[in-house]
Amino acid sequence: MDTNDLNILVEQAKQALDSSDFEHCELLLNQLHEQSHADSASNLNALYYKACMRMKQRRMDESSALFGELILQSKQCTDAQSAARILSLTGSKLITISDFSRTKEAYRQSIALFTALGDTAAAAEVLALLAITYSYSSEMHTAIELTKQALEINRTLNIPIQIAHNLNALGSFYQSLSNYKQAIYYLEQTMQLAGEIGELRVLAACYGNIAVIHHMLGNSELSIEYNEKLLSQSDILNQEHVCAAYGNLAVNYQDLGKYDRALDYCTRALVLSQRLGNKAYSAVAYGTFGRIFCQQKNYQAAIESFQNALTINREIGKPASIAGILSNLGFTYAQKDFEGYEFEKAHRYLSEALELEQQYGNKDGLAHLYDNLSALYEGIGQWQTALEYFKRTAALKAEIVNEESMKAADSFHKALEEAEKEKTRAIQKARHEATEQLLHNVLPPTVAEQMLMGNSRIAESFPEVSIFFSDIVGFTKLSQKVTAEELVDMLNSVFTEFDRLAAKHNLEKVKTIGDAYMAVCGAPIKNPHHAKNVSMFALDVCEVIQNLPPIHGEKLRIRIGLHCGKVVAGVIGEKKFAYDLWGDTVNTASRMESHGEAGKIHVSEEFKHAVETLHATSLQFIPRGEMDIKGKGMMKTYFLEKA
């Protein structure tokens, strides 16, 4: 098979995987593997999609092993560009199943290949992903150093979206180290840049980091507010962010003593993490369950949850998380009202936790551990030791929750609130302007202004107006000869010119129905020269139609009818507004048009008299005699022409 055939196989396998047709996908991938050289990109693709299929089948160990084989074989691949891309995708898959060791290896190789190819932007993007992997394995200082390297590259290349991701990651990493002032420093920059470039996913993720900071500073209500803001953007987020928000809300409600809501969110987090195959988030959920059960004095259930969390964290290698769970286990076994109380076991767990916290943990975790050790020694009457650990707890908490951090968090929250208020004001202004523009487009300006002022019932009588009606002769027959596009273009061109002339002669277009055009002069703004204005408009319309080129060999012809008198005008509709006129004057004007002749302006005797009172010497009326007008009886009518 040539390269093109192999690429087709890859695409077919991907489609089969997307539709969960595992049997067909397996056959295609085996065929791809057999036809591919060991050093080809198609061989790596075969391994990649087979590993992805095993993930989808929930066979995580097999998936991880296949990704491991891919990483090894990528070193032989002669297509460096494809190998770099596939390795990057591999790392992104491995991190979701918490295989951090292989994730790091995949990302390192990808970075090396992109760098050798001179693709600095791609190398920086993968470097940032590698940093996140180090953060997941509790190596925060390495994560920060790598992210700062990626940030420097992206600033040099001026890639705003990657800069925003880097800044948000730094905020998250410093927050994990309990350095809230530095975390807020980076998150402020993230919010500003993400807002400028409209990167909503980064904004939402930033809400999650801010929520954690407020939780750690003891403000559960604000933490809930930001977690809910994050979830309000769930349609644009990846599911890992949603899972984290559920977990954070569970902790918030636990702190507030609302255990039913805490357990509900914790259950959501666990179910979603298991569906995603994300072991790290599952471990977090089990740990939260344990703390809730412990507060409810359901110690046995707490221990079972903590043990589940401990098993997973040891499996995926998260030392800081292991330390936290060991500390919780020690605290549980130190409870005197627990029938399983055991000082030695509690001390062993806490001592093991202390060793890990001092090496991998953060200040907040260490403060909780000192607090647990203080309670343990207090329980057996060793007051001096208990006091020593209490002092250490107080000192660390003073470092974490200091006045500077509180001020920074409060200032940041107020700035965000003001930014959101400004955004709301801008949206309201834009909506008002859009509504105003829309009303002005569909209603006469004076009527639109009344509605914008809050007057929803527009109805008014006008004693003297002139009405214009026109209709294209033979329109139905013409419409059968032209395409839909030609028909619409023709009507749009004609009526646009009519609109221009209406504005010139101070008429207000009322509506168009098919090929018919209706306009009025004297409403909604009264005009003593309404009859003359409509006459001049009608003559200009005739001239426009006469000057149009033939359409499919036929000249357009138009009938026009004019009449004057009193009408009622108003706005109807609740969602779609329309300005319309009613009364016998409207009906008579319409009859003048329908009983007229092609190319002529047919008017009533009343209209003739209205024009003559204005001494319009440039106009003349040709008698047509009396004729039977439908619905009106016998009427004297005239044809209007230029004098």
Q: What is the mean pLDDT of residues 105-127?
A: 94
Say which CATH number the domain at 576 has.
Answer: 3.30.70.1230
Count of alpha carbons within 13 angstroms of residue 539, beta-carbon side? 15
What is the domain extent for residue 95? 1-118
pTM equals 0.55
Total domains present in the chain: 2
Q: Does the pLDDT value for residue 479 go beyond 90?
A: no
**Count of Cβ atoms closer than 10 Å to residue 250 Cβ:** 28
Cα separation, 500 vs 489, in Å, equals: 17
Strand duo 601-604 + 558-572: pairing: parallel
Q: Does the pLDDT value for residue 402 go beyond 70?
A: no
For the purposes of burial, counting CB atoms within 10 Å of the CB of 146, is it exposed (0-12), middle (13-18) or buried (19 or more)?
A: buried
Q: What is the mean pLDDT of residues 12-28?
A: 87
Q: What is the mean pLDDT of residues 485-492?
A: 89
On whether residue 583 sits in a domain, the answer given is: yes
Q: What is the mean pLDDT of residues 181-185?
A: 84
Task: With CA atoms as reference, report the closest residue to 304 among 282, 289, 319.
Answer: 289
Question: Which pair of structure tokens corresponds to residue 563?
Answer: 């009449």
Domain boundary among 118, 148, 182: 118
On whether residue 80 sits in a domain, the answer given is: yes
- State the pLDDT at residue 263: 95
On whether residue 94 sits in a domain, the answer given is: yes
User: How large a percentage of the chain has pLDDT more than 90?
Assistant: 43
- State the pLDDT at residue 459: 83
Chain centroid, CA 354 distance in Å: 44
Q: Does the pLDDT value for residue 417 go beyond 70?
A: no
On whether residue 625 sits in a domain, the answer given is: yes
Domain boundary among 73, 97, 118: 118
Q: Which residues contact 29 (CB under 8 A, 6 or more apart)?
A: 13, 46, 49, 50, 53
The H or E element that residue 462 is part of is strand 459-472
pLDDT class for 600, splitting at 50, 70, 90?
very high
On whether residue 371 sits in a domain, the answer given is: no
Q: Find out whether 583 and 567 touch, Cβ atoms under 8 Å.
A: yes
Q: What is the mean pLDDT of residues 223-243?
A: 83
Q: Which of 158-162, 349-353, 373-377, 570-574 has the lowest mean pLDDT?
A: 570-574
The region, left, alpha or beta by phi > 0 then psi within -120 to 50, assigned to residue 51 is alpha
Say which CATH number the domain at 98 has.
Answer: 1.25.40.10
Per-residue pLDDT reduced to its tens digit, 243-267 = 989 999 999 999 899 999 999 999 9
- State the pLDDT at residue 374: 86
On whether residue 184 sits in a domain, the answer given is: no
Domain boundary among 64, 91, 118: 118
On whether residue 580 sits in a domain, the answer given is: yes
Cα separation, 202 vs 288, in Å, equals: 26
Q: What is the mean pLDDT of residues 551-566?
A: 90
Mean pLDDT estimate for the chain: 86
Q: Does the pLDDT value for residue 399 go beyond 80?
A: no
Task: With CA atoms as reference, report the closest residue to 47 among 19, 77, 80.
Answer: 77
User: How large a percentage of the chain has pLDDT more than 70?
Assistant: 91
Please write down the HEC assignment for all residues of 143-174.
HHHHHHHHHHHHHHHCCHHHHHHHHHHHHHHH
Per-residue pLDDT reduced to its tens digit, 274-313 = 988 888 899 999 999 999 999 999 999 999 999 999 999 8
Q: Does the pLDDT value for residue 7 go beyond 90?
A: no
Strand duo 619-629 + 508-513: pairing: unpaired
On whether residue 75 sits in a domain, the answer given is: yes
440 to 46, 149, 423, 581, 582: CA distances (angstroms):
60, 54, 25, 18, 21
